């Protein structure tokens, strides 16, 4: 079988070498490609797992432990996953360059958070985001004075044709023949870039890793102190699941006792209802983790720099914008899946305010509104004047999915959502000045013509135009 795999893998290896991918990246992809050829799906079955019980609560961590975390700040770094382009919202540059609150972008706020704590900031960029992100951060010269490079590159791997498991070819846009191998690639990319060794040589022992589009993910000295005090190699932040989080992955315990991360893509189709049962599995992975870099180095050395994280076989089309383009597999791994690679790894329960991601224009509109505010220490939080939970915004994707379409319908800025519980917009509606929504509001424009709304307060009602 090994010879057969070598023969089938040869064209993938050739492509990766031509792109100057490091040897570790090539061998890691071979490891997952062999699983694909052997018929493995990466599925985790419900019968083999159970919910994780007795998860430590970050809010109950003592001030004594927080003081330990405070003392450890000088040994910590902030590491942001910054490879996304935000193509689903029509962006062509790094998503983190998108204006998110007032005049500030994601990267503005992240940079200010790092500077306020005097902690090095490191980005894991993709080939698509490296140049733009680093050029943007030149406006913060103090970030460049830490002696630690501001970024390292994520690897890229070929997409696999579903029909014959060969590399896909797409002459319309050859860049689409490649895919990032998931954020689980961070561990091998830290090694091949030399970043892991550089951090350790410079005296850094701990890293807080999170998505650049989650501005709720900030350094918390309580959790850092818990990492130090318990000598845990790995902590995963989890939050209480709601109906909005049914697609997110979450930690489970395998029948062999080991912790695993169960992603929706690892769920057999016939068991999706089980995966989405928020009563049975009531926490989800926020993709914010804390890791002991010394423990990571040791574990990587023991395993030839391949943590052998569970494979995620994502079924896609080579051009995500064209549903009739060639069906492909994208072989990926999840960062949080490393919870299975470390003895003593554990989840930690957090409050929901540490999870404020922006994946769609729904979340973008909410965070840009007065329902959220930017604190003096550069955290995005619910407005203290608000007495309601976070607002739920549902926008008609025909008119608001893309940033340019959203912003063209909000020339005077976002209407007030301070006292709005939920907002649903169906149809083409443009908003002018002095628009205030309160309670639960549903707007429906059934006509083909755009309607303009301004100088109005709409409270607790469905309004059909």
Q: Which residue numbers are catalytic?
A: 359
CA-to-CA separations, 326 to 10, 14, 101, 373, 436, in angstroms, rounded: 21, 21, 39, 44, 46
Give the strand order in the sheet containing 259-262.
Answer: 49-51, 250-254, 259-262
Tokens at residue 224, please?
């850092």
What one-character DSSP code corresponds to residue 218?
Answer: -
Tokens at residue 354, please?
């540490």
Among residues 450, 405, 451, 413, the alpha carbon closest in space to that of 435 is found at 413
Question: CA 447, 451, 453 angle in degrees (round to 5)?
Answer: 145
CA-to-CA separations, 382 to 57, 373, 441, in angstroms, rounded: 21, 6, 19
Tokens at residue 101, please?
């609150």
Q: What is the CA radius of gyration of the chain?
A: 23
| Alpha-carbon span 432 to 410, nearest angstrom | 7
Residue with tokens 């016939």: 270
The DSSP secondary structure of 348-370, one letter per residue, reads EE--GGG--B--SHHHHHHHHST
| Alpha-carbon span 179 to 182, nearest angstrom | 8
| Alpha-carbon span 169 to 160, nearest angstrom | 9
Among residues 193, 238, 188, the alpha carbon closest in space to that of 352 is found at 238
**Angle, helix 221-230 to helix 63-72, in steps of 10 degrees:** 90
Would you tell me how many other CB atoms lie within 10 Å of the CB of residue 458?
A: 19
Q: Which residues of 241-270 are buried (b: 16+ CB within 10 A; e: fewer)?
A: beeebbebbbbbeeeeeebbbbbebbbeee
| Alpha-carbon span 443 to 205, nearest angstrom | 52
Give the strand order in the sheet containing 151-153.
Answer: 151-153, 121-125, 76-82, 206-211, 283-292, 234-240, 346-349
């Amino acid at each position: 079988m090994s010879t057969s795999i070598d023969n089938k893998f040869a064209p993938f290896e050739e492509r990766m070498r031509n792109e100057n991918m490091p040897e570790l990246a090539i061998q890691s992809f071979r490891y997952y490609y062999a699983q694909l050829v052997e018929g493995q799906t990466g599925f985790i079955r419900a019968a083999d797992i159970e919910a994780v019980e007795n998860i430590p609560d970050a809010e109950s961590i003592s001030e004594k432990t927080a003081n330990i975390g405070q003392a450890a700040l000088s040994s910590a770094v902030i590491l942001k996953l910054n490879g996304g382009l935000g193509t689903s919202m029509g962006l062509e540059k790094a998503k983190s360059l998108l204006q998110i609150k007032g005049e500030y972008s994601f990267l503005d706020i992240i940079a200010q958070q790092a500077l306020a704590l005097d902690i090095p900031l490191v980005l894991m960029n993709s080939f698509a985001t490296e140049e733009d992100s680093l050029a943007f951060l030149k406006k913060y010269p103090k970030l460049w004075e830490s002696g630690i490079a501001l970024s390292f590159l994520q690897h890229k791997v070929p997409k696999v044709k579903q029909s014959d498991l060969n590399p896909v070819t797409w002459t319309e846009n050859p860049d689409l023949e490649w895919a990032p191998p998931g954020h689980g690639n961070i561990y091998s990319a830290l090694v091949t870039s030399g970043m892991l060794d550089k951090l350790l040589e410079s005296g850094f022992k701990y890293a807080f890793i999170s998505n650049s589009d989650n501005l709720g993910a900030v350094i918390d000295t309580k959790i850092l102190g818990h990492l130090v005090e318990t000598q845990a190699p790995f902590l995963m932040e989890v939050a209480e699941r709601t109906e909005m989080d049914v697609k997110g992955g979450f930690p489970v315990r395998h029948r062999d006792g080991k912790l695993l991360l169960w992603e929706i893509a690892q769920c057999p189709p016939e068991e999706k209802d089980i995966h989405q049962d928020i009563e049975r599995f009531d926490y989800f992975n926020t993709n914010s983790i804390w890791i002991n870099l010394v423990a990571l180095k040791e574990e990587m050395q023991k395993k030839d720099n391949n943590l052998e994280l569970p494979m995620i076989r994502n079924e896609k089309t080579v051009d995500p914008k064209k549903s009739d383009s060639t069906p492909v597999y994208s072989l990926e791994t999840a960062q949080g899946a490393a919870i299975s690679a470390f003895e003593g790894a554990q989840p930690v329960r957090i409050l929901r305010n540490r999870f404020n991601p922006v994946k769609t224009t729904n979340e973008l509109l909410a965070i840009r509104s007065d329902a959220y505010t930017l604190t003096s220490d550069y955290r995005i939080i619910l407005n203290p004047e608000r007495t309601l939970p976070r607002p739920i915004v549902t926008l008609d994707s025909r008119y608001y999915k893309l940033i340019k379409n959203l912003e063209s319908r909000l020339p005077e800025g976002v209407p007030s959502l301070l006292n709005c519980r939920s907002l649903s917009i169906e149809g083409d509606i443009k908003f002018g000045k002095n628009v205030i929504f309160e309670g639960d509001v549903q707007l429906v424009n059934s006509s083909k013509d755009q309607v303009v709304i301004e100088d109005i307060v709409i409270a607790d009602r469905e309004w059909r135009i």
